[in-house]
Amino acid sequence: MTTSITLNELYQRQITLLGEAAFEKIRNSRILIIGAGGLGCPALQYLSSSGVGVIGIVDFDIVSASNLQRQILFEINDIGRKKVEAAAEKLKKLAPFCNIQVFPFRLDATNSLEIFSTFDVILDCTDNFYTKFLIHDACFKTGKVLIQASVYQYEGQVQMFDFRERQGPCLRCLWPEEPLDGCTATCAEAGVMGPLLGVMGSIQAMEALKLITEKEHLNNGETLFVDLMSREFDVRRFKQKSDCPCCVKHECKVQEVLQVDWPVDLKEFVLVDVRSLEESDQCPLVEQFKKHYRVLQIPLDKIKDFVPPSDQKYLTICARGLRSLNACHYLRAQGLEVYSLRGGTNNILSMENL
C-alpha cells in the first residue's frame, strides 16, 4: 500500500506553504532526538511526518505504564519494550520515507561526540541537568545546532543554540556550573500534564523545521517561556558572559568517564549514598553496605556541604545512577577521585537476584 503513495501526496500541504526547494532541505536534513519520552514523542512524530530524511533516537529506557499519559508514541502493549524499538516501529508506519536510526543506550561522554557527528540538529528531550549539560557541551564542541526544552508541571522553556560558528551566548553564560539534579523536583516527584509536553516537543520540532528551511527562529541568548496555566508565551534575553567557560574561554570539556560498572570491589571505595535518607532506608542493599563497607549518607541536596578528605577514593551511588553521576561530577570538580556506579543499586538488585 505504501509503495503506491508518493512523497508529493504525503507532503503536499507542506510543499504548498514552503515550496519545493525548502521541502528538499527538509528531506536532506538529519536530526537526532535524545530522549524518547514526553518531549521526544511529539517531536519524533512531527519531524518524521514532516519528511525529515534521517532521524536518530537515543534512549536507554524501557516503556513503563506511567509513561503512557504523556509519551504518546507508546501503547499498553509496548510496556516493557525498549523505547527506541517501539518508537521506531510506530514511526516507520507513519513515515515510510524516513530513515530511522536507533541508539538503545545511555548517552555519555564517551559516545556523544561520535553519535553527534553525523547529525545537523540535536534535540535535547532529556529530563536531567547532567545530560542536558553534557549534550550542550558536546554540541558546542562538534559545532551543532541544539534545540533544548525542559518542563515543570504547567510550564516549559525552550532554548536554541546555534554553535555552527562556535559562538555564544550559550547555556553556560546563564549557568556556568550545572545545577545539581535534586535541586528541583523531577516530573516523577512534581507531576506533569501530558498536553504540556505535546506543546513543548512540538515547539522543538517547529523550531528545527524553521531552522532547516531558513525561516526566523529562536536565537542564541533567548529563552522562550511557555506557561499553559496563564496561557502566556514570553521570550527573555540574556547576554554572553564575558568569562563564560564554554563559549568565551573554550575551557568546557566533555567530561571523561566517571562511571564504573557492577561488579565492583567496594572495599576499594568509600561509598557515598546520595539518595534521600528515607529512600536509602527502603533499599535492601543498604544494611549489607553498612555492615561490610565504609558508607556515607549524603543526600544530593547536601552534597555542597560535604568536605571529604582527599586521600580516599569515593564511589557515589543512588537508585539508577543519575544523581550519583551528577554528584560525582561535582565532587570531581572539587579535586577528589570519585566514580559513580552505573545503573545504581537497581542494577545490582537485578543482577544479584536478591
Partner 1 sequence: MKIKVRYFASLREKAGKSQEEMTIQTGKDLSDLYRALRLKYDFSLAENEIKYSVNNEYVEPNIPINENDVIVFIPPVAGG
Is residue 290 within 8 A of residue 312, CB to CB? The reply is no
Q: Would you count residue 6 as binding partner 1 (CB under 8 A)? A: no
In the complex, least distance from residue 189 CB atom to partner 1, rounded to whole angstroms: 9
Shortest Cβ 132–partner 1 spacing (Å): 6
Closest distance to partner 1 from the beta carbon of 9 (Å)? 34
Please choose, out of 10-18, 121-129, 211-219, 254-262, the segment that lies near partner 1 by the rule CB under 8 A: 121-129
User: In the range 287-306, which residues lie near partner 1 by CB under 8 A?
Assistant: 301
Cβ 224 to partner 1, closest distance in Å? 11
Asked if 168 interacts with partner 1 (CB under 8 A), we say no
C-beta of 192 vs 266, nearer to partner 1: 192
Give the residue, chosen from 174, 228, 260, 349, that forms a contact with partner 1 under the rule CB under 8 A.
174
CB of 154 to partner 1, least distance (A): 8
Q: How far apart are CA 68 and CA 100, in angstroms?
A: 22
Which residues have CB under 8 Å from 34's CB, separation 6+? Answer: 40, 58, 59, 107, 122, 123, 124, 125, 126, 131, 135
Residue 37 C-beta: closest distance to partner 1, Å = 6
Order of all β-strands in the sheet with 337-341: 259-260, 337-341, 313-317, 270-273, 294-297
Looking from the CA of 333 toward its CB, the CA atoms found within 13 Å total 14
Contacts of 173 (CB under 8 A, 6+ apart): 221, 238, 239, 240, 241, 244, 246, 247
User: Kindly report the CA angle at 108 between 128 and 352, in degrees rounded to 5?
Assistant: 85
Q: Which of 7, 190, 333, 351 binds partner 1 (CB under 8 A)?
A: 190
Q: Rule CB under 8 A: which of 39-68 touch partner 1? A: 39-40
Residue 127 engages partner 1 in binding (rule: CB under 8 A): yes
Strands 121-124 and 30-34: what pairing?
A: parallel
Q: Which three cell numbers stand for residue 267?
A: 572495599
Q: In terms of CB distance, is 54 or 228 closer to partner 1?
A: 228
Q: Are 307 and 109 in contact (CB under 8 A)?
A: no
Between CA 142 and CA 69, with CA 44 as vertex, the angle to 5 degrees is 125
Single out the residue of 59, 108, 162, 181 in contact with partner 1 (rule: CB under 8 A): 181
> Interaction with partner 1 in 78-117: which residues (CB under 8 A)?
none
Q: Which of residues 222-261 bind partner 1 (CB under 8 A)?
A: 223, 225, 227, 229-230, 234-239
The torsion angle over the Cα atoms of residues 137, 207, 126 and 87, rounded to 10 degrees, is: -130
Residue choice 46, 129, 163, 330 for contact with partner 1 (CB under 8 A): 129
Distance CA 12, CA 286 (A): 60
* Cα–Cα distances in angstroms (integers) from residue 175 to residues 180, 322, 339, in the given order: 11, 19, 24
Q: Closest separation between CB of residue 295 and partner 1, Å?
A: 26
The answer to whether 333 contacts partner 1 (rule: CB under 8 A) is: no
CB closer to partner 1 out of 224 and 295: 224
Among residues 187, 260, 264, 270, which is the contact residue for partner 1, using CB under 8 A?
187
Task: Please choose, out of 52-60, 123-131, 254-262, 265-273, the segment that lies near partner 1 by the rule CB under 8 A.
Answer: 123-131
The site for partner 1 (CB under 8 A) is made up of 35, 37-40, 124-129, 132, 149-153, 155-157, 174-175, 179, 181, 183-187, 190, 192, 197, 223, 225, 227, 229-230, 234-239, 301
